[in-house]
Amino acid sequence: MFRKLYKEASNDIEEDKSFKKTTIEKMLNKNVIKKRPKHFFKFAVIMVAIVVLFSFFIKSNRVNTYAIAEPTYPTKIKFDNFDEKINREEDIDESFLKKLKDFSIKTSSLVLRKTDKDTNSLYSPISLYMSLSMASETANGDTQKEILEALNMHNIEIVRSETGKLFRRLYYHNEIGKLSFGNSLWLNKDVEFNNDLLDLLAKEYYTSSFSLDFNDKESPKKISKWVSDQTGGKLGNNSDDFSFNSDDIMTLINTIYFYDEWVDRFNVENTKEDDFYLANGSTVKSDFMNMTYSSHGFVGVDGYTVSYLNLKNGGRMIFVLPDEGVSPYDIVSDPELLDEALNSLSTGERQMGEVIFKIPKFNFSSSLKLEDICKTLGIEKAFETTADFTNLSNTKPLFISNIKQNSTISIDEKGVEAVAFTQIDYCGSAQPDGKAEMILNRPFIFAITGVEGSPLFVGIINNPNI
């Protein structure tokens, strides 16, 4: 029918020698509409039909996902709307924050000291925390107790209330940057789950729950798309990362997306190529961003120098430069030393003085297997067939089979972007009195913190060109 309409309209136009505007765009001209309403109507029908058919085609090929339980996320607040930001702030239990930081330092040490010394490493302690906190809600008895103790927590009610507050306190999404978390459960449609728990997770942890056919080869694409959407397309683009085994029952995923701009941007014209010295003594060329502060905070102690760059939404990026002859792994392998280095800027050792920054631009991804780390933390029963996850489902056996984390980070003259997902199958001025040179031309440690100093990412740069 549409082909017939198109042919008739074309013949009419061809017969009218004075009517030479043959494109659809020209036919939408007001004068043409007045002159040839019949022709316009025929072409309008054709265009509507094309749109309908195209929409049907897109819809039939789209991977649709429908939530069983769905949270209501905090609304966006403009960057300069300080009153609204203050109104949203909630008091977070200080002991909870201390335990969260202890968990972050301990796990960062356990993870990073085991990484390849020839490549760069990135780990998100806040993403693992969010994932395990949700996993603790699904567990019961000794299984839950072990997960809570690994988190340095001993009360599920505190975890529940304070994690929600932390989510809201850290969250921002404005014209300058974004820090957001995404939590989701992907549930085998053939298994019966506790709907009350799914509602609780949606309310307290902002968790979406989805029912999937685990035997459908298209299902991994749905998870992949969700992760990609949550991470700005930086992660989740390979659906093979989310494939199922025949015995899988559920996949739990946390994502974190972070982007912010430096308070003081680097001048692109000052970015120069120079040598970066690898641990084995060889060198590689890298592009270094350069900036000097006449009065800026730093810590210079035996073993390392620490300084930072402020971010516009209240966070900061901390850089720890080991002394020559000292390896980053000498620091990250000792939780107390790592804690001391990352928190030294808030202690009495902090100085004010000239700080020269020379930072290599870098962009890399990292992939970590975290089951052994969790077992080292004391989580054992959750990995056994006798695990108690009856808060989630009465299906037996039901246990955790896999925990992994993928992440990526990049920094440039404008700011820093870092994203991660964790999957359980199941973050004034004073008179100068010194000087620091943050010439990061050899392996170094970095961390990104949010408000309240919550560690979001901790990593090591061994080679900025990888």
Residue ranges of the domains in the chain? Answer: 2-61, 67-261+368-424, 268-362+430-461
Q: What is this structure's pTM?
A: 0.80
3-state secondary structure at position 460: strand
Neighbours of 2 (CB within 10 A): 12
Q: For residues 252 and 314, what is the distance between their CA atoms, to the nearest angstrom?
A: 30
Residue appearing with tokens 């043959």: 22
Q: What angle do CA 333, 335, 339 make, to 5 degrees?
A: 125
- The closest of 355, 368, 357 to 422, measured between CA atoms, is 368
Instruction: Indicate the CATH number for domain 67-261+368-424.
Output: 3.30.497.10
Evaluate whether 251 touches 223 at the Cβ level (below 8 Å): yes
Q: What angle do CA 406, 210, 178 make, to 5 degrees?
A: 50
Number of helices (H) and strands (E) in the chain: give both, helices first: 14, 17
Evaluate whether 421 touches 124 at the Cβ level (below 8 Å): no
Q: Rounding to the nearest 10 degrees, give the CA dihedral for residues 107, 110, 114, 118.
A: 60
Evaluate whether 460 touches 366 at the Cβ level (below 8 Å): no
Alpha carbon 244 to chain centroid, angstroms: 23
Instruction: Indicate the CATH number for domain 268-362+430-461.
Output: 2.30.39.10
Spatial neighbors of 390 by CB under 8 A, at least 6 apart, are 140
Q: What is the pLDDT along the chain (466 residues), one digit of tens a residue?
A: 434 433 444 444 444 444 344 443 444 444 444 444 555 555 555 555 554 444 444 333 334 455 677 888 888 888 888 777 777 778 899 999 999 999 999 999 999 999 999 999 999 999 999 999 999 999 999 999 999 999 999 899 999 999 999 999 889 999 999 999 999 999 999 889 999 999 999 999 999 999 999 888 899 999 999 999 999 999 988 888 888 887 888 999 999 999 999 999 999 999 999 999 999 999 999 999 999 999 999 999 999 999 999 999 999 999 999 999 999 999 999 999 999 999 999 887 889 999 999 999 999 999 999 999 999 999 999 999 999 999 999 988 899 999 999 999 999 999 999 999 999 997 234 445 677 888 888 887 888 887 667 778 888 889 888 8
Question: Which tokens belong to 360?
Answer: 């290599």
